[in-house]
Amino acid sequence: MTHDGGSGKGPVASGANRWIVYQRERFPFAAHAPLVAAFSLSAVSFSALLRGENAGDGDLLLPSWLGVLVAYVTSLLFFLQLRIADEHKDCEEDARYRPYRPVPRGLVTLRELTWIGIGSAIIQLALALWLSPALIWLLLVTWIYFALMTREFFAREWLKARPVAYLFSHMLIMPLIDLYATACDWWPAGHRRPPDGLFWFLIVSFFNGLAIEIGRKIRAKEDEEHGVETYSKLWGMRGAIAAWMSAIAATAAAAFVASTLIAAEVVVGPLLVVLLIACAVTAARFLWMPTTSTGKGIEVMAGIWTLGMYLSLGVLPLVLSLYGDFVLHD
């Protein structure tokens, strides 16, 4: 079994090519771009729909293209920063147990990644100034929590001994990123507080973050690695699957409540049911036949769930309100 992007070789890339190899292995743009697009588009669309509902005048309020762009690029850079932070936090364990990864095998250095992280923060700051300078306050709040995460909240050993507390404390970054993404709509629109009901969308992002994180760390027994913590190793395959499906179900419940706030439950509800069934079938298939393929299927399904759930909750109701028979405001 190889872990270096499928090549089974060492650091053969040089110059700019090594960054292409790095992104393919550790931050694959082809996989992240559509998920982050769904995440950010849903955030600004849901915010705009909420503003229209709260206005009570039957008008459909659209997000600006500039807000959508800033939300997308800033969110993508947030997730890149999370990856870079993980490279720093896990460097010792990677060197000991995962020498095939880019940093321990010398493809890129932590110093180089640090400069990329700093550069991405400068871009985020510039985008906030471009869209609405007051957004900097929310950006700072997210950065501060992110900084605390990189230091493991100064309680690394305590958190490591309590996996659930560790998982929850790190997933709280998701609602903060989501809050910032929605603010790219409601703040430039003149609001100084989130629209009523936005809390439920932040709950969605929290539980969905749990679903993604648990899903990517469920493996068949043959794929478990010494020194690498996975939820299937920690809780057993049945326990890990139960935790994953619980996170999926909690996300679905919160998403349905959120959909009622924009009068979109008729559209969102059936789609959530279809996605829930697909997740349950994928989970049952893994438990029935735990192999490399079915284990990978859990992670893939987590991505499909995320893409479908966010698009159905924010983007689809907005599009149908504009061009379809679905009428958001009676």
Listed by start position, the domains of the chain span: 29-323
Q: Are 54 and 178 in contact (CB under 8 A)?
A: no
Q: What pLDDT shows up at residue 234?
A: 92
When pLDDT is cut at 50, 70 and 90, the band that residue 107 belongs to is very high
Q: What pLDDT shows up at residue 6?
A: 39
3-state helix, strand, coil in the chain (%, to 5): 75, 0, 25
Q: What pLDDT shows up at residue 15?
A: 67
Q: What pLDDT shows up at residue 55?
A: 59
Checking if the pLDDT of 56 tops 80, the result is no
Q: What pLDDT shows up at residue 92?
A: 86
Interatomic CA distance for residues 152 and 135, integer angstroms? 26
Checking if the pLDDT of 63 tops 90, the result is no
Buried b (16+ CB within 10 A) or exposed e, 151-182: ebeeeeeebeeeeeebbebbbebbbbbbbbbb
Interval 294-322 mean pLDDT: 91
Checking if the pLDDT of 59 tops 80, the result is no
Determine how many CB atoms are found less than 10 A away from the CB of residue 284.
13
When pLDDT is cut at 50, 70 and 90, the band that residue 324 belongs to is low
Q: Are 142 and 78 in contact (CB under 8 A)?
A: yes
Which range has the worst mean pLDDT, 27-36, 67-76, 273-282, 284-293? 27-36
When pLDDT is cut at 50, 70 and 90, the band that residue 161 belongs to is confident
Interval 73-85 mean pLDDT: 96
Interatomic CA distance for residues 45 and 168, integer angstroms? 27
Checking if the pLDDT of 11 tops 70, the result is no
